[in-house]
């Protein structure tokens, strides 16, 4: 079916259910950012395949809300359909809630799939639409009803993450959760976040592309931990480990029955992570409190074993990316047939040569020339560009290793460079240095530091329509939280052991895009009197593009930062290279700037 035919069928079902509007978000039953194909109802309905966006369908309108990362991509992918793009954050464009309030009739009815819409969203919608007495019908999956060839739920096997990588057993982590429950006087804790659950119970899987997680829920009491997952995914070794750590395995689809049977008591959960369908299954005699999930913050501060492992995997990944840059420049100069897709085979090959490689950590952004202006562009067999000398190539990619996760971006010159290209690249590098080199007091959140990068752009009349950086996980997701560098307020304090990316950029539609991204970890710095300082310790050792750096735009301090960074790259990466030509190129690339 083409998009408009899907809309016609959806509206027929809306009429049968007496609905004035139908809401289609981007989520699974765990409020994941990246989701398995089964849950991609918004993608299937709209044709827009970005990782974020919300659709709203009425009898006479089809609207798609997308943020600044996807303005270009979304407009292209819905072109020719009835869908209209609603550019989030742009003056004059109403939010989805505002549109509902202004356009739904009094006593109207809004339908949605309550498995994938969180209770937090429902509460927010109910408050906003209260004056119009809008009824929310949350038990219907109308898109699923017309999606005749919908993929099945994923069935990848679950596997244990060894103690040499985790540093703690599942029982030790569960005991720490129970200590926090006891302080809050809670009898139960309910978790739906896949990254939190996999970290807490020391297992991984393959239910979401590039995210080694397993569709699962966890229900924890003071004397029992129930792990809900498809039992066909586990083997005897998995069962034995969970039994040793006091964990009971339960079928994934049995969660509602177990929630409905809870005795009187109190339960803690995060309304923003729990689908309203599951929330509503909790009996009235159970007192519900909403707090951020304990494991979400516990896992954000890496323990000593995890941090040492992360340093190791980050260095191996840096070696692979450094070798790729040399290879790409060398092949391009020789006139090789390169394109946005076939170079990714080389990236994957180089990462696989390192120890403990599992998979890519996300669908790589491989973008040449104007395609790099689309911040989340990914090439496809039907739509990809040749890579030729004369323009810039941007690669945003990462690896999943048994001992860590990476997320690195480099923009590369091929052939002669222009002053305009140097300007954009050097400005991006200045923005990265400004944040990466900043020491800051304990208690500081990423929200307050973000302007250090973005302010560099603002001083030159530029802005990038995305955040400056984000938390990432440990053999888990590249976008995990709880911290961010963004204009959006985030009050999470940066603490030692937290992993972050720093990734400013310049994007010129139809021309080019530049982004540079390093991974860093928060560490303890100096203490002056009562003031404890923190700093960002670099994890990424991939050289910058020397040809794109305009030293006239840099201060002495910035040149020193670059020279120090390249000295570290050379010291760490060169001994791990075996090819003499690679080594010679790296020495030239990392030579001090004047």
Tell me the per-residue pLDDT of 292-318, one tens digit each, with 9 for 90 and over.
999 999 999 999 999 999 999 999 999
163 and 231 in one domain?
A: yes
In this prediction, residue 134 has a pLDDT band, given cuts at 50, 70 and 90, of very high
Instruction: Assign residue 419 the CATH number of its domain.
Output: 3.90.230.10
Which residues are registered as beta bridge partners of 396? 365, 409
Q: How far is CA 448 from CA 443, 496, 518, 535, in A?
A: 11, 17, 19, 14
Does the pLDDT value for residue 592 go beyond 90?
A: yes
320 and 277 in one domain?
A: no
- Residue 494 is predicted with a pLDDT of 98
Q: How far is CA 416 from CA 141, 373, 389, 531, in A?
A: 54, 20, 7, 49
Q: Return the number of other C-beta atoms located less than 10 Å from residue 489's C-beta.
A: 9
Q: Give the integer Cα–Cα distance in Å for 1 and 146.
A: 10
Q: Does the residue 326 lie in any domain?
A: yes
- Residue 538 is predicted with a pLDDT of 98
Strand pairing report for 408-413 and 54-58: unpaired
CA atoms within 13 A on the CB side of 552: 3
The residues, any chain, with a CB within 8 Å of residue 145's CB and separated by 6 or more, are: 13
- Residue 33 is predicted with a pLDDT of 87
In this prediction, residue 548 has a pLDDT band, given cuts at 50, 70 and 90, of very high
- Residue 498 is predicted with a pLDDT of 98
Percent of the chain scored above 70 by pLDDT? 100
Tell me the per-residue pLDDT of 448-458, one tens digit each, with 9 for 90 and over.
999 999 999 99
99 and 176 in one domain?
A: no
Tell me the per-residue pLDDT of 388-398, one tens digit each, with 9 for 90 and over.
999 999 999 99
- Residue 375 is predicted with a pLDDT of 87
3-class secondary-structure state, position 15: helix
- The token duo for 38 is 């089964």
In this prediction, residue 488 has a pLDDT band, given cuts at 50, 70 and 90, of confident
308 and 277 in one domain?
A: no
Question: 123, 146, 169 — which closes off a domain?
Answer: 146
Q: What mean pLDDT comes out for the span 408-420? A: 97
Does the pLDDT value for residue 465 go beyond 90?
A: no
Q: Give the integer Cα–Cα distance in Å for 453 and 25.
A: 31
The three-state (H, E, C) secondary structure of 295-310, written as one string: HHHHCCCCCHHHHHHH
Residue span of the structural domain in which 242 resides? 159-292
Nearest to 101 by CA among 128, 120, 63: 128
Residues 317, 399 contacting (CB under 8 angstroms) = yes
Residues 525, 439 contacting (CB under 8 angstroms) = yes
Does the pLDDT value for residue 357 go beyond 90?
A: yes
Indicate the pTM of the whole model: 0.93
Q: What mean pLDDT comes out for the span 322-342? A: 97
Tell me the per-residue pLDDT of 433-444, one tens digit each, with 9 for 90 and over.
999 999 999 999
* Residue whose structure tokens are 């004059």: 92
Tally of domains within the chain:
3
- Residue 432 is predicted with a pLDDT of 98
308 and 288 in one domain?
A: no
545 and 523 in one domain?
A: yes
- Residue 422 is predicted with a pLDDT of 98
Residues 25, 118 contacting (CB under 8 angstroms) = no
- Residue 229 is predicted with a pLDDT of 98
Question: 292, 318, 350 — which closes off a domain?
Answer: 292
Question: 271, 292, 313 — which closes off a domain?
Answer: 292
Instruction: Assign residue 64 the CATH number of its domain.
Output: 3.40.350.10
- Residue 481 is predicted with a pLDDT of 86
In this prediction, residue 365 has a pLDDT band, given cuts at 50, 70 and 90, of very high
Count of H helices and E strands in the chain?
20, 28
Strand pairing report for 21-24 and 109-111: parallel
Tell me the per-residue pLDDT of 49-101, one tens digit each, with 9 for 90 and over.
998 999 999 999 999 999 988 998 999 999 999 999 999 999 999 999 999 99
- Residue 121 is predicted with a pLDDT of 97
Residues 344, 358 contacting (CB under 8 angstroms) = no
286 and 311 in one domain?
A: no
- Helix 556-573 and helix 304-333, axial crossing angle in degrees, nearest 10: 100
Tell me the per-residue pLDDT of 121-130, one tens digit each, with 9 for 90 and over.
999 999 999 9
3-class secondary-structure state, position 330: helix
Q: Does the residue 313 lie in any domain?
A: yes
Q: Does the residue 151 lie in any domain?
A: no
Phi-psi bin for 369: left (phi > 0), alpha (psi -120 to 50), beta? left
Cα 430-435-436 angle, rounded to 5 deg: 95
- The token duo for 472 is 């990432």
- Residue 1 is predicted with a pLDDT of 85
Q: Give the integer Cα–Cα distance in Å for 87 and 580.
A: 50
Residues 111, 20 contacting (CB under 8 angstroms) = no
The three-state (H, E, C) secondary structure of 168-193, written as one string: CCHHHHHHHHHHHHHHCCCCEEEECC
74 and 207 in one domain?
A: no
Q: Does the residue 299 lie in any domain?
A: no
- Residue 447 is predicted with a pLDDT of 93
Averaged confidence pLDDT in the chain: 97
173 and 62 in one domain?
A: no
Q: What mean pLDDT comes out for the span 254-277? A: 98
Q: Does the residue 153 lie in any domain?
A: no
């Amino acid at each position: 079916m083409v998009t408009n035919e899907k809309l016609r069928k959806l509206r027929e079902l809306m009429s049968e259910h007496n609905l004035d509007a139908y809401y289609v978000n981007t989520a699974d039953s765990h409020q994941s950012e990246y989701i398995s194909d089964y849950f991609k109802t918004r993608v299937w309905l709209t044709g827009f395949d970005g990782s974020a966006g919300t659709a709203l369908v009425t009898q006479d309108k089809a609207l798609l809300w997308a943020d600044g990362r996807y303005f270009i991509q979304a407009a292209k992918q819905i072109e020719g359909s009835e869908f209209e793009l609603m550019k989030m954050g742009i003056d004059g464009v109403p939010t989805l809630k505002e549109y509902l309030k202004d356009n739904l009739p009094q006593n109207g009815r809004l339908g949605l799939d309550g498995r994938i819409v969180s209770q937090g969203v429902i509460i927010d919608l109910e408050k906003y639409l209260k004056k119009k007495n809008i009824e929310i019908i949350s038990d219907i999956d109308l898109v699923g009803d017309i999606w005749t060839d919908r993929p099945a739920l994923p069935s990848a096997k679950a596997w244990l993450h060894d103690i040499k990588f985790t540093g703690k057993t599942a029982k030790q982590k569960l005991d720490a959760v129970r200590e926090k429950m006891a302080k809050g006087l809670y009898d139960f804790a309910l978790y739906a976040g896949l990254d939190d659950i996999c970290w807490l119970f020391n297992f991984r899987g393959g239910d979401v592309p590039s995210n080694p997680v397993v569709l699962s829920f966890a229900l924890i009491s003071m004397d029992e931990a129930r792990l809900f997952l498809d039992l066909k995914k586990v083997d005897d070794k998995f069962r034995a480990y969970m039994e040793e750590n006091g964990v009971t395995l339960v079928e994934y689809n049995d969660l509602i029955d177990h929630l409905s049977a809870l005795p009187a008591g109190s339960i803690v959960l995060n309304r923003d992570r729990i689908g309203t369908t599951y929330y509503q299954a909790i009996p009235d005699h159970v007192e519900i409190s909403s707090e951020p999930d304990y494991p979400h913050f516990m896992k954000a501060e890496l323990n000593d074993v995890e941090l040492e492992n992360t340093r190791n995997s980050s260095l191996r990944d840096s070696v692979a990316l450094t070798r790729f840059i040399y290879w790409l420049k060398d092949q391009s100069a020789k006139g090789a047939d390169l394109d946005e897709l076939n170079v990714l085979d080389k990236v994957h090959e180089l990462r696989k040569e390192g120890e403990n490689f599992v998979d890519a950590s996300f669908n790589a952004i491989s973008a040449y020339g104007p395609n790099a202006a689309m911040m989340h562009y990914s090439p496809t067999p039907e739509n990809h560009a040749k890579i030729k000398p004369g323009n810039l190539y941007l690669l945003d990619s990462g690896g999943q290793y048994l001992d860590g996760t990476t997320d690195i971006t480099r923009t590369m010159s091929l052939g002669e460079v222009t002053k305009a290209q140097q300007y954009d690249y050097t400005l991006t590098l200045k923005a990265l240095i400004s944040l990466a080199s900043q020491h800051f007091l304990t208690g500081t959140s990423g929200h307050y530091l973000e302007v250090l990068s973005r302010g560099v752009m603002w001083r030159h009349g530029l802005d990038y329509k995305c955040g400056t950086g984000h938390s990432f996980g440990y053999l888990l997701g590249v976008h995990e939280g709880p911290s961010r560098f963004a204009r959006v307020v985030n009050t999470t304090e940066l603490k030692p052991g937290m992993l972050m990316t720093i990734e400013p950029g310049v994007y010129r539609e139809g021309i080019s895009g530049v982004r540079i991204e390093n991974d860093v970890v928060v560490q303890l710095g100096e203490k002056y009197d009562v003031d404890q300082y923190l700093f960002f310790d670099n994890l990424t050792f991939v050289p910058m593009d020397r040809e794109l750096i305009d030293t006239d735009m840099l201060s002495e301090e910035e040149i020193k930062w670059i020279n120090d960074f390249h000295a570290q790259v050379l010291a760490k990466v060169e001994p791990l290279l075996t090819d003499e030509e690679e080594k010679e190129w790296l020495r030239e690339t990392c030579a001090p700037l004047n």
